Amino acid sequence: MTYHNLLFILVVLSAVAAVMARDLLLNALMLALVSVGTALLLFDFQAPWAGVFELSVCAGLITVLFVSAVSLIRREDGKVEDSRARFRAMPLVMGIAAIALWLYGIPFFEALENWSRFSDRTASLGTIIWDTRRFDLVGQVSMLAAGVLVIRSIFPRRKK
Amino acid sequence: MTSSPGLLAYLLIPLFTAVAIPFAARFRTRMADVLANVTLLAGLLNLSLLLFDPANADSSFSAIPDDGFSLLMVFVIYLVGLCVTFFSTYFMEEGSGVARAPYFALIMTSVSAMCGIVTTGDFFTLYIFIEVLAVSSFALIASGERTGGLEGAIKYLLLTFPASLFILLGVAFLMLTAGTFSFEGVKTLVASGMPAGGTVFAVSLLLLGFLIKSGVVPFHAWTPDAYEGAYSPVSAFLAGIVTKIAGVYAVIKIAIILRLFDVKTCPAADILMFLGMLSIAVGAVAALRQNELKRMLAFSSISQVGYIVLAAGIGTPLAILGAIFHLVNHATFKTTLYLNSASLEKGAGTSDMTKLGGMEHSMPWTSWTSVVALMSTAGVPPLSGFWSKLLIIVALWDGGARIYAVLALLFSIVTLAYFMVMQRKVFFGKPTEASRAAREVRPAMLAPVVAMSVLIVALGVFFPYIYAYLVDTVAARIIL
């Protein structure tokens, strides 16, 4: 339980730091730390599939992309000069959210667990992910094509 | 999983074209629009032969494969897609500064994604295709040289992002509570009579996401900005079909597949009806106060979406047929109106209604096709919009929602009022300086709107055929 709580605190603090930090590199690294913490939690909750994807894609691949992009930006552009005054209320908001979650979140997820017993649990998540999927792979190919086309569409114009 | 394997080709071919366009355009830039137009025209001809074969009516549409709803939606997607690509081909030629190859390739990707949305048989795939559509739409809105485009694109992305989050959460809860993503699986679970609280909760999250994507009041803040800021032909694509498929289609699909609205204890149906009515009212009243043509059309679009959501909320077979037909009609008249607003901008140099007047003299084709589309939107008989609104109002009356039926009828009159005001301001009355200097756009740019206007009249005149199609292929096969 202590291990879980520590991980939760790590995830929340890293998430706050990812939003608050002025340095883009620090933003990216804090976001990676959020993903690492989440992945460890997922492993601990017997969700290895989700944990592996979180660790490899979110903590690994996306961080590499962010850090590469940040390294292409000049140092002076990386500093965000806008005011952080609006974030001063953040601890208060987080405190209220934590109390609300403690009161309503836990009973809600317990109720959700009761609902889950109605579903057919014979198929494992692995079976569902790999064996019942066909058509959505076309969607993912489309997403890759769309991503490339979006970059081609927006960036040549920005160069001007 | 796809509910309509026969329609897979209509998804894959535009995707191949989208990938081929950047390569083909390297040799000759015009290959981009040629490939896009040819692909969509071929698909549309094929679909028209299937849908409008006169022998269909005698055989109770037995030649139509799978469910008629998906097929009809694919037809509308191809139709609007072709009108927009054909119009853009000539609109761009006059120097709009848009990168031709990525623009047409993105339209083809959007067409493919929309076909994916309407042919899928499960919520997970639906979510993936909706995201593909969101990414493509973002870049399309940002096309053109106006800074408003980029601003509109960012607003669209930021305001529809929470919608994607709700849909994703809904899909996750569905997995947890129902153990399946498929429409059929969830339908079976709900029909089996076991406590469906978790499933209803998951589906409500999905509905919330789709309502935001539809731009229904109170989630409508992004629509006028996105439609107004977008590159003009993209506004037609966005308002005519993209937001309708990404949001409204899914709302109707949930109403059909899950039959949650049969259960009167389910408050989702009541909320849906209330939001639909609110959209009709807010959209109509806000449209009355606009001076910018594209903004007025955007609010009118919110109002018309309200009719569809209201019909999906009551959920009776007749209401669903009305909602589907209104979705088709909305695509035809809103595409015509937005393409004409682009022509007005091109011909008169402005879309500010206070500066326009007497356009009927300088741009007669644009004016008269707009009048046909406006009358159909307002529900003037015998145009197509009249029949769909009639179906919805009769279904509301039959279903016991008589107050909603009366209000829907009253706001239909408000719609007519604001369109009369607009017609007087823009197309008739005294010519202004801008309208005297205006010239009619070239015939190639008029062809899509003339074709759409003919279709609006034809759908109204041949309504019995359309009604028979909806009854035999949608009501008989997937609703009842």
CA distance A119 to chain B (A): 5
CA distance B24 to A48: 44
State the pLDDT at residue B142: 80
Q: Does the beta carbon of B179 lie under 8 angstroms from any beta carbon of chain A?
A: yes
Indicate the SS3 state at residue A110: helix
Tens digit of pLDDT for each residue in B355-364? 887 788 888 8
State the pLDDT at residue A159: 47
Indicate the SS3 state at residue B196: coil
Q: Which of B358, B254, B369, B356 is nearest to B315 (CA)?
A: B254
State the pLDDT at residue A12: 87
Q: Does the beta carbon of B18 lie under 8 angstroms from any beta carbon of chain A?
A: yes
pLDDT band at B448 (very low <50, low <70, confident <90, very high): very high
Residue B472 has pLDDT above 60, yes or no: yes
- Would you call A92 exposed, middle or buried from its count of C-beta atoms within 10 A (0-12, 13-18, 19+)? exposed
CA distance B313 to chain A (A): 25
Residue B85 has pLDDT above 90, yes or no: yes
Tens digit of pLDDT for each residue in B190-244? 777 655 667 778 888 888 999 988 888 888 888 888 888 788 888 899 888 998 8
Q: Cβ contacts (< 8 Å) between A136 and chain B: which residues?
A: 120, 122, 124-125, 128
The shortest CB-CB distance from A115 to any of B12, B116, B177 is to B177
Q: Which of B346, B408, B415 is nearest to B376 (CA)?
A: B415
Query: The tokens of B179 are what?
Result: 């153990």
Question: Can you tell me the ipTM of this complex?
Answer: 0.76
- Which residues of A lie closer than 8 Å to B, measured between beta carbons? 112, 115-116, 118-121, 123, 128, 132-136, 138-143, 145-147, 149-150, 152-154, 156-157
CA distance A138 to chain B (A): 8
State the pLDDT at residue B474: 82
Tens digit of pLDDT for each residue in A124-158? 666 666 666 667 788 888 888 888 888 877 776 54
Q: At residue B292, what are phi and psi to the nearest 5 degrees?
A: -90, 125
CA distance B209 to B462: 36
Q: Residue range A54-83: average pLDDT?
A: 77
CA distance B471 to B480: 10
Tens digit of pLDDT for each residue in B237-255? 988 899 889 889 999 988 8
The shortest CB-CB distance from B136 to any of A138, A146, A152 is to A146
CA distance A154 to B379: 40
State the pLDDT at residue B451: 94
Residue B457 has pLDDT above 50, yes or no: yes
Residue B323 has pLDDT above 90, yes or no: yes
Q: Which of B129, B138, B144 is nearest to B226 (CA)?
A: B138
Q: Cβ contacts (< 8 Å) between A134 and chain B: which residues?
A: 1-2
Q: Residue range A76-102: average pLDDT?
A: 73
Q: Cβ contacts (< 8 Å) between A159 and chain B: which residues?
A: none
Q: Which of B370, B342, B336 is nearest to B91 (CA)?
A: B342
State the pLDDT at residue A132: 62
Give the residue, A76 or B200, on which the prediction is more confident: B200
The shortest CB-CB distance from A142 to any of B113, B178, B180 is to B113
Kindly determine whether residue A139 and residue B142, on different chains, have CB atoms separated by under 8 Å: no
Share of chain B above pLDDT 90, in %: 30
Q: Cβ contacts (< 8 Å) between B15 and chain A: which residues?
A: 138, 141-142, 145
Query: DSSP class of residue B441?
Result: P
Residue B365 has pLDDT above 50, yes or no: yes
The shortest CB-CB distance from A153 to any of B12, B139, B180 is to B139
Q: Does the beta carbon of B136 lie under 8 angstroms from any beta carbon of chain A?
A: yes
Residue B381 has pLDDT above 90, yes or no: no
For residue B324, the enclosing domain spans 5-479
Transcribe B217-233 into DSSP letters: TTS-THHHHHHHHS-HH
Residue A96 has pLDDT above 80, yes or no: yes
Per-position b or e across B256-280, b if 16+ CB within 10 A of its CB: bbbebbeeeebebbeebbebbbbbb
Q: At residue A45, what are phi and psi to the nearest 5 degrees?
A: -90, 25
Global confidence as pTM? 0.88
Kindly determine whether residue A128 and residue B175, on different chains, have CB atoms separated by under 8 Å: yes
Give the residue, B97 or B248, on which the prediction is more confident: B248
Beta-ladder partners of A23: A79
Tens digit of pLDDT for each residue in B332-359? 999 999 999 988 888 887 778 878 877 8
Tens digit of pLDDT for each residue in B108-149? 999 999 999 998 888 888 899 999 999 898 888 887 666 667
> Contact at 8 Å (CB) between B64 and B473?
yes
CA distance B134 to B165: 13
CA distance B312 to A11: 41
Transcribe B67-126 into DSSP letters: -HHHHHHHHHHHHHHHHHHHHHHHHHHTT----HHHHHHHHHHHHHHHHHHHHBSBHHHH
Give the number of domains in chain B: 1
Q: Which of B211, B247, B242 is nearest to B226 (CA)?
A: B242
Residue A78 has pLDDT above 60, yes or no: no
